Amino acid sequence: MSNLKFYIPAVAFLAIAGLLWRGLYLDTRTLPSMLIDKPMPSFALATVDGEAVSNIDLPDQIFLLNVWGSYCLPCLVEHPTFMRLSEEGEIPVVGVNYKDRNELAQDWLETNGNPFSFSIEDLDGRFGIDLGVYGAPETYLVDSDGVIRYRHVSVLDETVWQEEFIPAITELRAESN
Amino acid sequence: MILRFNSCFCALALLFVLISSEQTVAQVDTFEFDNDVQQQRFRTLSDELRCPMCQNTNLSGSTGGVAEDLRREIHRMILEGMSDREIEQFMFERYGDFIFYRPRLTAQTVLLWFGPIIFLLIGGLVARSVFRRAREVGETEVALNDDQKARLNKLVGNK
Amino acid sequence: MIPELGQFSLILAFCLSILLGTLPIIGAARNNVLWMSLARPLAAGVFVFLGLSIGILAYAFATDDFSVQIVAAQSNSLLPMHYKLTALWGGHEGSFLLWTFMLSGWMLAVSIYSKSMPIEFVSRVLGVLGVLCVAYILFMLATSNPFMRIVPLPPADGSDLNTALQDFGFIVHPPTLYMGYVGFSVVFAFAIAALLSGRLDAAWARWSRPWANIAWAVLTIGIALGSWWAYYELGWGGWWAWDPVENPPLITWLFGTALIHSLAVTEKRGVFKSWTVLLAILAFSGSLLGTFITRSGLLTSVHAFATDPTRGVFILGILGLAVGGSLLLYAFRAPLMKSEFGFGLVSREVFLLTNNVLLVVAAASVFLGTLFPMVYQALTDDLISIGPPYFNFIFVPLMIILVLFLGVGPMSRWKRTSTAYLFQQVAKLAIASLVIGVVLPLLVLFEFSLAATVSVALAAWIVLTMGKDIANKIANKDSVAKGLRSLPLSYYGMQTAHIGVAIMLIGIGLTSYFSSERSVLLNPGESVELGSYSFQFEGSEAFRGPNYIGDRATFLVSRNGNSLPSLYPERRIYLASGTPSTEMAIDAGFLRDLFITLGEEKEGGGWTMTVYVKPFIRWIWLGSIFMALGGTVAAFDKRYRRLRQRKSAQEKEQLGALQPTAT
């Protein structure tokens, strides 16, 4: 009986090894958003075109809020997806031009095309902090009541759109019916 | 993916170099405070809050990007007279528990905070049992007798 | 063609290590002298072919052979030669080859310096190391082949070594750390060999001790180098960040420290046998865990390699087999190894037992804090950070208690010490330490702080008790010189290492409390004051390095009007990758470091920057040097050398009969 105690280290190790194995399959890099199921933070800022915007200007249907910048290379990668979404009228996309320079942002939109209903200009990143942004690109799914329902960090390409956003949107639509 | 991310942040940092246009007077502390207490609070907060976009550094250890913005926010909130608790709550609402390098004591972190005490108790118990066994042996004292000692020394080449 | 030779050589080393991992162990079990005698030549063979393999890889780096994948990924034609060569361990594949090569180096050392041990014991030790070699090489061949080629179109130039790694620290830190890490595999192999033979006796402990000491000393230096490098390269003013990749070496070191103390008890008194074996296994597990964490990308850290889950699973498999297997073996064999001697409640055994408990609890707590974010995420799906505030809170009190015992331990006697005697010995010293702790920081720094008082008092405690102990030990000798000569080398080793602890304590205590820093924006001609130091910014100029462009700023430094050496911090952009990097400028000193890091250039030639004054920071690394020196000195004690000289088969037989049996 007293010899059983010598098995304790082996048993403890087994538990730790199991844990490590589980840990291999955890995504430790994507920080979950704290704003899920919270209303969009309030803001009163200008658009890239210089018009004043605040929460009341947001679409009153389900829409995407995409955080982008002209300096951000991955934003260019996901750009065609947003172009297609807005051209096909699948869902409105509102931009947040995060910590950019106005001229550079305007150039970028002109060169690459503008998929956004409008882009909120967040020069100092203050609005980004309220959103819990930690770097462009990030995309939020906001429902018709202005409540944030989903966040995707990094590039949103067609695969992500099909696999993550379509189901989330379908669910939202079913909910509101 | 991660790599591209980083290069994006680097670009961001570079951009900062390009766009900052604030004209400044001689020798300005990056963040100025009304008194030393505020200064100290600022240092502690930016030491104990984690930069959300970095791999594993605190706010004071990283330059550019969101870390810079968060430091500026802390500075603003301290000057506005907010307490440390309120500032921490502000951070929590936006970035969650991840932002605290000092994990808050909750039901899920009880094991973390009390684990070392449990280890110490276990260690104490193990030590006690070792000692008790030793004392039992000690009473029936078995040690190498002189002859055995001499042989051991001869074997391992001592003296 | 040449890289394929490297690959071929790696495969040959693999085949030889399979033989090494099987024949000698079987030979030892069946008492087949021929098979056992294969152990040494096979170990040498594995070393030669791994050496050839790593040499060929180094040649590929030196000659810019960008058709080799890792050369293309980690090197660049503009890179200076010393970084080209060290770029070899700048990534996962190359560094693992280095790791395995170091293991074979230790193996060779064991086969050379083991003449005095019985052949079956040496065969088992080398056999166990051979099994580890098999696992490591298989891992390389299966998941991380360093000789992988880019066909058919190799890139014209490589994408460059990570700029943070282009530094002297990178040349010395990884090899030293690996050397120490892998050294614990040797101690592990000794323990497993002893378990396999079913004989854990004082001789086993005596054979293991020098190896454990050397491995521990090298690991100490490896960790200290990492800390020193992080301090001057990352430029955030810290020297230890409790990062998930820094913690496993520390865990290994804590287990290792417990082990070298526990081995002393096992050797001298024949107690704690199964506990000592367990510590040897734990220290080795710590080193494998470190490999696993770094190479699987399990935890978010500042220095993770590029990640790949299959590698993680593979290393976890190695970890499971090696550690799980040895713990099972331990469970079978440990109950047989009881042969206890008695000791009293106040005795050196009990002090060392306390030392072990504290060190193991500290290691377990660091382990808990390192892995807890993972547990938390698995349970709640949320992320949590555990950083310096947690670790300091747990670690510091444990170390304080440890140091209190450290003072008394060496004075106590084996078996039984009278409490009254100990008390009479140390009471005055305790008061004196406290007084020194309060007064000294006040005199030197004109400020009171609890951290400084505690650390100086503890350091004084170590030094005073040590002085007293030496005085006691030589009191009845004819002369001081004669007395000092009569003390064994291992005693000096121990005291040197303990002085190292005292020095490090002062460094940690004073630097963490009295450091000051200031972040400012300066235009050329302006200056900033910090304490009694003044830093005048003269301006910056663009310059060009071998593989980067940058700005170098000039600072005139003075203290109370006396000028000190000027400082030239840099801001660089590396050409191959376009990565910016900050090179801080340090004026290192025995009593304080001054350093400056540049931030960003503003309009009109102004720069943002942070200036730091760090009192006593060098003492942290100086303390580590003393510790490592102590460990090494102790390993060269006469009794380990005598042991090498003779041994006959008959005497070996007799060793077993020496095991006392409790009645």
- Answer yes or no: do C427 and C543 share one domain: no
Q: Is residue C380 part of a domain?
A: no
pLDDT digits (tens, 9 = 90+) for A92-113: 999 999 989 999 999 999 999 9
Determine, for residues B135 and C342 on separate chains, whether the beta-carbon distance falls below 8 Å: yes
pLDDT for res B120: 95
pTM of the model: 0.89
pLDDT digits (tens, 9 = 90+) for A46-79: 999 999 999 999 998 999 999 999 988 889 999 9
Q: Of A92-101, C344-353, C382-391, give the lowest mean pLDDT range.
A: C344-353
B7 touching A (Cβ < 8 Å):
yes
Q: How many domains does chain A have?
A: 1
Q: Is residue A128 part of a domain?
A: yes
Put simply, the chain B residues between 62 and 101 with a CB less than 8 A from any chain A CB are 65-66, 69-70, 72-73, 92-96, 98
pLDDT digits (tens, 9 = 90+) for C289-305: 988 888 876 665 555 55
- Answer yes or no: do C466 and C531 share one domain: no
Q: Is residue A24 part of a domain?
A: no
A-chain CB neighbours of C288 within 8 Å are: none
Q: Is residue A85 part of a domain?
A: yes
pLDDT for res B137: 63
Compare C458 and C167 and report the one with higher pLDDT: C458
Nearest C-alpha neighbor of C533 from the set C510, C513, C557: C557
Q: Is residue C410 part of a domain?
A: no
Residue type, C233: E
How far A10 CA sits from the closest chain B CA (Å)?
17
Q: Is residue A19 part of a domain?
A: no
A132 touching B (Cβ < 8 Å):
yes
Burial class (CB in 10 A: 0-12, 13-18, 19+), C591: exposed
- Answer yes or no: do C624 and C502 share one domain: yes
- Answer yes or no: do C507 and C536 share one domain: no
Residue type, B120: L
C-chain CB neighbours of B136 within 8 Å are: 342
Determine, for residues A34 and B95 on separate chains, whether the beta-carbon distance falls below 8 Å: yes
Beta bridge partners of A96: A67, A120
pLDDT for res B45: 92
Q: Is residue C132 part of a domain?
A: yes
CA of residue A121 relative to chain centroid, distance: 17
pLDDT for res C197: 86
pLDDT for res B25: 30
Confidence of residue B16 (pLDDT cuts 50, 70, 90): very low
- Answer yes or no: do C599 and C562 share one domain: yes
How far C382 CA sits from the closest chain A CA (Å)?
7
Q: Is residue C100 part of a domain?
A: yes
Domain span at residue C84 reads: 1-166
Q: Is residue C392 part of a domain?
A: no
DSSP code of A32? P
Determine, for residues C324 and A7 on separate chains, whether the beta-carbon distance falls below 8 Å: no
pLDDT digits (tens, 9 = 90+) for C94-116: 999 999 999 999 999 999 998 88
Q: Which helix (H) or strand (E) holds A66?
A: strand A63-68
Q: Is residue A95 part of a domain?
A: yes
pLDDT for res B116: 95
**Searching chain B, which residue's CA lies closest to the CA of residue A129?**
B94
A36 touching B (Cβ < 8 Å):
no
Q: Is residue A163 part of a domain?
A: yes
Tokens representing residue C170 in the block = 């990178």
Q: Is residue A11 part of a domain?
A: no
User: Closest partner residue to A26 among C281, C327, C374, by Cβ?
Assistant: C374
Give the span between the Cα atoms of B84 and C406, in whole angstroms. Answer: 39
User: Closest partner residue to B5 among A125, A126, A135, by Cβ?
Assistant: A135
pLDDT for res B57: 84
A134 touching B (Cβ < 8 Å):
yes
C-chain CB neighbours of B109 within 8 Å are: 372, 376, 384
3-state secondary structure of C608: strand
Q: Of B59-68, B92-101, C215-224, give the lowest mean pLDDT range.
A: B59-68
Confidence of residue C317 (pLDDT cuts 50, 70, 90): very high
Put simply, the chain B residues between 22 and 61 with a CB less than 8 A from any chain A CB are 52-53
B125 touching C (Cβ < 8 Å):
no
User: Closest partner residue to B8 among A35, A73, A100, by Cβ?
Assistant: A73
pLDDT digits (tens, 9 = 90+) for C422-467: 888 888 899 999 999 888 888 877 778 888 899 999 999 999 999 9
A126 touching B (Cβ < 8 Å):
yes
DSSP code of C477? S
- Answer yes or no: do C544 and C625 share one domain: no
Per-residue buried b or exposed e for C198-208, using 16+ beta carbons within 10 Å of the residue's own CB: ebbbbbbbbbb
Cβ(C429)–Cβ(C461) under 8 Å?
A: yes
Confidence of residue B10 (pLDDT cuts 50, 70, 90): very low
Determine, for residues C330 and A17 on separate chains, whether the beta-carbon distance falls below 8 Å: no
pLDDT digits (tens, 9 = 90+) for C561-613: 889 999 999 988 888 777 788 888 999 889 899 989 888 888 778 888 889 99
- Answer yes or no: do C460 and C532 share one domain: no
Put simply, the chain C residues between 184 and 203 with a CB less than 8 A from any chain B CB are 202-203
Cβ(C422)–Cβ(C411) under 8 Å?
A: yes
- Answer yes or no: do C458 and C603 share one domain: no
Whether B23 shows a pLDDT value over 60: the answer reads no
Q: Is residue C447 part of a domain?
A: yes
Last residue in a domain, options C119, C150, C166: C166
B141 touching C (Cβ < 8 Å):
yes
Q: What is the dihedral of CA C63, C65, C69, C75, to 10 degrees?
A: 40
B20 touching C (Cβ < 8 Å):
yes
Question: Looking at residue A85, which CATH number applies to its domain?
Answer: 3.40.30.10
Whether B14 shows a pLDDT value over 50: the answer reads no
User: Closest partner residue to A132 among B5, B12, B94, by Cβ?
Assistant: B94
Last residue in a domain, options C144, C166, C188: C166
How many B-C residue pairs are in contact by the CB < 8 A criterion?
A: 196
Determine, for residues C319 and A20 on separate chains, whether the beta-carbon distance falls below 8 Å: yes
Strand locations in chain A (E): 44-46, 52-54, 63-68, 93-98, 119-122, 138-142, 148-153
Burial class (CB in 10 A: 0-12, 13-18, 19+), C297: buried
DSSP code of A38? S
Give me chain C's average pLDDT, please.
87
pLDDT digits (tens, 9 = 90+) for B62-94: 766 788 889 999 999 999 999 999 999 999 999
Cβ(C367)–Cβ(C293) under 8 Å?
A: no
How far C40 CA sits from the closest chain A CA (Å)?
32
Confidence of residue B139 (pLDDT cuts 50, 70, 90): low
Give the span between the Cα atoms of A19 and C316, in whole angstroms. Answer: 11
- Answer yes or no: do C499 and C575 share one domain: no
Q: How many domains does chain C have?
A: 3
Q: Is residue A1 part of a domain?
A: no
Average pLDDT over residues C116-144: 93
Compare C579 and C126 and report the one with higher pLDDT: C126
- Answer yes or no: do C510 and C469 share one domain: yes
- Answer yes or no: do C445 and C590 share one domain: no
Using CB atoms, which chains have 3+ pairs under 8 A with B?
A, C
Domain span at residue A121 reads: 36-176
Average pLDDT over residues C294-323: 76
Whether B21 shows a pLDDT value over 50: the answer reads no
pLDDT for res C651: 45
Confidence of residue B149 (pLDDT cuts 50, 70, 90): low
Q: Is residue C453 part of a domain?
A: yes
- Answer yes or no: do C483 and C563 share one domain: no
Q: Is residue C247 part of a domain?
A: no
DSSP C632-663: HHHHT-HHHHHHHH---HHHHHHHHHT-----
A5, A28, A31, A34: best to mutate for the B interface, most B CBs within 10 A: A34
Tokens representing residue C480 in the block = 């001081």
Last residue in a domain, options C129, C148, C166: C166
pLDDT for res B136: 67
**Searching chain A, which residue's CA lies closest to the CA of residue C326?**
A10
Average pLDDT over residues A142-153: 92
**Searching chain C, which residue's CA lies closest to the CA of residue B2?**
C306
Compare C22 and B18 and report the one with higher pLDDT: C22
Determine, for residues C342 and B20 on separate chains, whether the beta-carbon distance falls below 8 Å: no
pLDDT for res B3: 32
Average pLDDT over residues A116-129: 92
